[in-house]
A and B are shown apart, each in its own frame.
Chain A
Amino acid sequence: MNPTFPLSPLPAGFDEAALNNLTTGLNAQQLVWLSGYFYGQASAATVPGAQPATAASAPAPAPGEKLTILYGSHTGNGKKVAQQAAESARQRSLSPEVFDMNDYPTRQLAQAENLLLIVSTHGEGEAPVAAEELHRFVLGPRAPKLPKLRFAVLALGDKSYLHFCQTGKDFDQRLGELGGQRLLERVDCDVDYHASAEAWISAALDKISASAPVPVAAAAARVAAVKAEPAPFPAITRTNPWPARVLESIQLNGRGSTKETHHIELDLAGSGLVYAPGDALAVLPVNEDSLVEEVLRAARLSDTAPVTLGNEKSRPLANVLAKRRELTVLTRDVVERYAALTPHAELHALLADTTRLQPYLYGRDVADLLTDFPTDQLTAQVLAETLRPLPSRAYSIASSLLVHPDEVHLTVSAVRYDAHGRRKHGVCSSYLADQISVGDTARVFVETNEYFKLPTNPATDIIMVGAGTGVAPFRAFVEERVELGATGRNWLLFGNPHFTTDFLYQAEWQQHLKRGGLAKLDVAFSRDQAQKVYVQDRLLENSREVFAWLEGGAQFYVCGDKKRLGGAVQAALTEVVRREAGLSAEDAASYVRDLRKQRRYLEDVY
């Protein structure tokens, strides 16, 4: 089969016949090799200040300052920013190299001169898996002195966590201690990171470019070249979400369950959206009316009071609260901004004492804060500026696009609880469960997850460990592998409280098991017997087989609650290895660490 290339208009001096003459008899691989060869020749020939080459429509080599861009994040946001930075750098004729931290040879750090580092933070201030090793290396005693280094850190995080952007802070501080010179102060991004990230990129690149001027004409030509390439971002984004129609909404738990899990099917037809198993779908929720009313009442503000967000036209407060502001979760930053408006001594005392603030925040929402510490200093505009933007919520996709063309399925656990005198609902889960029904639309976009992907080799076995809604991506995995006829075996371990009511997608798993789509299926229903049993117990019960699968090259996936599942499964797997390989605890841990390093132990935990 002939390779097909995206064809841009041919530059002057070439026509198709001429090209064919030059390339007759070459196969695809040879063509690719040749393109690289001439690319290299051309870059060597380019001298700063010379006339731009006539073949400038080919991606031109950046002759300027070398620049290392490292990213480490769980969701793929870090990668997006890194790619964006690289593009901008090329446009400025810089010479960027982009690495996932997981793949970055740490010894190269000593040689780096310009470094942009983008890293997210997880849970209680932990580094994401991909950044773990570099983080350990840089913060550890073997880290080299870095006198030549100029660097900038972009920290991705979520202000609702106490250890906001901690990993970014760690890198930033330590790189400075090792002799690095800051190109600019670290920037900490909240969940709505896009604007800050763009500003950080251009500020950092300005500093680097300032020391390496590039001829204007050459830069312009390269910009033109870059523009000819396909846009790196899909058209459907956070700022341009797709209004997906709800095709189906089913409560998956049987009667009497303590759980409430919804299976939601959305229509993507016409959106051009694509996803792969392991990706997530982000949903832009809308706060429920009753909560908006509660906040308005507590704030003693009118629903129609005008609010202006950024450069946008003015909108009524109720609309801004419903669609643009986080109300269900109360976070430290909001309390800090709010406290600045009011002299409540108790509120300031709370902020001063972390041990008291955390319990206060727990289970409280914005309405609680406004009720507990009322103020008359509030205007609609000030309230809107005090609150956080309403972030999207991402759900691991539960369907394979191959099996359900133009559809995306989600498995959503409805979060509901009573706290501080009111019934509370998770903003997005209740939006999906209660507010929208079949025929309505929800605003969505795809968030790719670089790490949580099926093996590229269809013959590779996979072990999937999922608890609760953590089973979602595995439904997509198995559907996809069955549809593709992948020969690797699929083993699912699933856990939830009760067999009769909480065996999510039970009938589908039974069919897969019957038809070979699943080679093995093990379940743990924690509350069906006096002694609680979890998926990690099933791993241990099957230790011989688990280990045999791993030794045979299997990939191991975990999806579910980070606190309750992530650590327990890792501990169980380590024990499996210790037991079956006859290793010390330390060597078993290192075996498991290697699995992670090789991207054969993959987590999607939240």
Chain B
Amino acid sequence: MPDTPKLSEVEIVKDASNYLRGSIVESLGNRITGALNHDDTHLIKFHGSYQQTDRDLDSERKRQKLEPLFSFMIRVRVPGGAATPAQWQRMDELSDTYGNGTIKLTTRQAFQLHGVLKRDLKNTIQGFNDVLLDSIAGCGDVNRNVMAPANPHESAVHRQVYEAAVAISTHLTPRTTAYWELWLNGEQHSTTEPADEEPIYGKTYLPRKFKIALAIPPYNETDIFANDIGLIAVEKNGELLGYNVAVGGGLGMTFGLPETYPRLADLIGFVAADKVVDLCEKVVTIQRDWGNRENRKLSRLKYTIDRVGLPAFQAELNQRLGYDLAPARPYRFESSTDAFGWSGDAAGLSHLTLFIEGGRIHNLPGYALKTALAEIAAFHTGEFRLTGNQNLVLANIEPAHRSRIQAVLEAHGVWPATLRLTALRQNALACVALNTCSQAFAEAERYLPQLLDKLDAVIRAHGLAEAGILIRMTGCPNGCARPYLGEIGLVGKAVGRYNLYLGANYAGERLNKLYREMLDEDGILRELTPLLADYAARRQPREGFGDFVIRQGYVQATTHGQNFHA
């Protein structure tokens, strides 16, 4: 580190923000612009919101002498992904009243509303607060929504793992009262009272975002190795013993900066179930103290670990824990995907996993998904569980409701639509990208379905309709849809141009590698068609596409983030 560290702009803004207040009150009251004061655009993230513009309209509005069409994305935390029907109904209503009429289910099991205008932020936040949802720490340099498996029937220990996720989330939620004060008309803190305290974070919070996910083998649909902390449940005879702990995952990188790279978390040991919250806190505090606060491109925990070395990090962690982590227990992951369709459990309840293309809840002609789910929310007594793959589980459906739910889905065209899908499409992930994400270089969610129409033809022609190849597309290299864990990863580099990555494995345990750069649609099809043909012809039994391309030498296996670019 340099002797005189020059803090990044965001660090200075956080420091001066009085625990995330900044001048947000003034920004909200300014009727001349739909935007916030510049510094507040950093702070609003901690409140769960990003200021965005409708990039489709930027140049048109400039000509019209109008400012860009500013609006806000609000990310609503759903720890472990479990929402009640009442919560679903409220999000559905809010998306119509204040948003763009759609809900995005994120790859981290959160709800996102898009297109909320500045003047409606408060009403929107109050709206979901009424049903006990919040957006604090939805974004920003703090611990984000904690992920947990969404399928309650898959394991007897599911409930305990889910509760651990909620406990971790609660423990690591910022303590500042700014959120309540700004959005929920909480009591203004008088200046004579002691200031807010953040016992875990401190007033400048973390150097960068922080992510935690839990999984129950053999399923890894939460992609735990992509997280700063990945926790793998270890059970014995239906009893939860604890978690294998992995640290230092994170997928974001920057084009042209080889010192940035996606990295999977390293397995460092085992922690008992009752110590897991404390373990998370200790990892967070090491990152708080050791993370890079000068260059935000190098400030995730993964770079901290690679800078100091894993042994040094482990030693510090053991020191802060006050004990040494036990060695990791054996475990095995088989897949990182969702199992679609109906399933049942011993208690007589049913569960239905629905494929949600791009995680987008909306109505299309002949496919009234949003309406159907709102109707179901009116009588369903179980949960709406968001999966890490942007899909939805209608969980714990009582026997009397099973046929009724099926009927609603059929009536609105949702059920028939799911029957025509290839496994490739069902496993596809896409981030929001254009037109609202300011980071995007290229389309993702809006374009992937069209690309899939063409790829599906190739897939079907080669008899691969049932082959669950993981395809993931993002509009930029920051990794929101975990593209570097796609067996086919497409990362936008310019409008209509993508880098193609190959060779991740099906269970989320190996990163892919760059195969071709700057492909347009024809290029993508031209490159993938012979590979898929070859795969259809020469794959071994149960061999995934990612394993196949490595075995055939199309790409080298990436064994660590640090050789991702090699």
Query: A residues engaging B (CB < 8 A)?
Result: 250-255, 263, 499-501, 503-510, 513, 521-523, 525, 528-529
Contacts and interface: CB of A to CB of B under 8 A. Distances in A.
Contacts of B31: 499, 522-523, 525
B66 interface: yes
- What DSSP secondary structure best describes chain A's contact surface? mixed
Interface of B: 31-34, 57, 60-67, 69, 117, 119
15 contacts: A252-B65, A254-B66, A255-B60, A499-B119, A500-B117, A501-B66, A503-B67, A504-B65, A506-B32, A506-B65, A506-B66, A521-B32, A523-B32, A525-B31, A529-B119
Nearest to B32: A521
Nearest to A533: B31
Contact of A508 (B61, B65, B117): B65
A263 B32 contact: no
Given A499-B119, A523-B32, 8 more contacts: A250-B65, A252-B64, A254-B69, A499-B31, A499-B34, A506-B65, A510-B67, A529-B119
Nearest to A248: B63
Nearest to A502: B66
Contact of A507 (B60, B62, B69, B119): B62
B64 A253 contact: yes
B57 A503 contact: no
A501 B68 CA distance: 11
A255 B57 contact: yes
A162 to B, nearest CB: 39
A253 B65 CA distance: 9
A502 to B, nearest CB: 9
Contacts of B67: 503, 506-507, 510
Contacts of A250: 63-65
A48 B61 CA distance: 71
A500 B117 CA distance: 9
B157 to A, nearest CB: 49
Contact of A263 (B57, B61, B65): B65
A499 B30 CA distance: 12
Contacts of A251: 64
A255 B60 CA distance: 10
Nearest to A261: B64
Nearest to B62: A507
A463 to B, nearest CB: 17
Nearest to A501: B66
A499 B57 CA distance: 16
A500 B65 contact: no
B34 A254 contact: no
A506 B61 CA distance: 10
Contacts of A510: 32-33, 67
B66 A503 contact: yes
Pairs of residues from A and B, 5 with the lowest C-beta to C-beta distance, nearest first: A507-B65, A506-B66, A505-B65, A523-B31, A252-B64
Contacts of A528: 119
Contacts of B57: 254-255
B66 A507 contact: yes
Contacts of A254: 57, 61, 64, 66, 69
Centre residue among B60, B61, B65 by max chain A CB count within 10 A = B65
B69 A500 contact: yes
Contacts of A508: 65
A120 to B, nearest CB: 34
A509 B64 contact: no
A517 to B, nearest CB: 14
B25 to A, nearest CB: 18
A495 to B, nearest CB: 11
Contacts of B34: 499-500
B449 to A, nearest CB: 24
A140 to B, nearest CB: 45
A466 to B, nearest CB: 15
Nearest to A254: B66
A478 to B, nearest CB: 14
A507 B63 CA distance: 10
A577 B317 CA distance: 70
B61, B64, B69, B117: which has the most chain A beta carbons within 10 Å?
B64
Contacts of A529: 119
Interface hub of B57, B60, B66 (most chain A Cβ within 10 A)? B66
Contacts of A522: 31
A522 B64 CA distance: 20
A506 B62 CA distance: 10
A525 B62 CA distance: 20
Contact of A513 (B32, B60, B61, B66): B32
B393 to A, nearest CB: 36
Contacts of A513: 32
A44 B548 CA distance: 116
A523 B31 CA distance: 7
A509 B69 contact: no
A399 to B, nearest CB: 13
B302 to A, nearest CB: 40
A301 B61 CA distance: 46
A377 B60 CA distance: 53
A472 to B, nearest CB: 13
Contacts of B69: 254, 500
Contacts of B117: 499-500
Nearest to B56: A255
B27 to A, nearest CB: 14
A510 B62 CA distance: 13
Contacts of A503: 66-67
Nearest to A508: B65
Nearest to A522: B31
A523 B117 CA distance: 16
Contacts of B60: 255
A528 B34 CA distance: 13
A401 B71 CA distance: 37
A571 B57 CA distance: 40
A521 B30 CA distance: 10
Q: In this complex, which of A253, A510, A529 has the most chain B Cβ atoms within 10 angstroms of its Cβ? A: A510
A403 B69 CA distance: 28
Contacts of A499: 31, 34, 117, 119
Contacts of A521: 32
Nearest to B69: A500
A532 to B, nearest CB: 15
A509 B32 contact: yes
Nearest to A525: B31
B236 to A, nearest CB: 58
A505 B64 CA distance: 8
B300 to A, nearest CB: 36
A244 B560 CA distance: 69
A251 to B, nearest CB: 7
Contacts of A525: 31
Contacts of B65: 250, 252, 263, 504-508
Contacts of A523: 31-32
Contacts of B64: 250-254
Contacts of A506: 32, 65-67
A208 B99 CA distance: 75
Residue from A507, A523, A528 whose CB has the most chain B CB atoms within 10 Å: A507
A504 B64 CA distance: 8
A512 to B, nearest CB: 11
Contacts of B33: 510
A346 to B, nearest CB: 48
A507 B65 CA distance: 5
A30 B65 CA distance: 51
Nearest to A538: B31
A575 B119 CA distance: 29
A601 B296 CA distance: 56
Contacts of A504: 65
- Most chain A CB neighbours (cut-off 10 Å) among B32, B62, B63, B69: B32
A298 to B, nearest CB: 39
Nearest to A253: B64
Contacts of A505: 65
B26 to A, nearest CB: 14
A114 B67 CA distance: 59
A522 B65 CA distance: 18
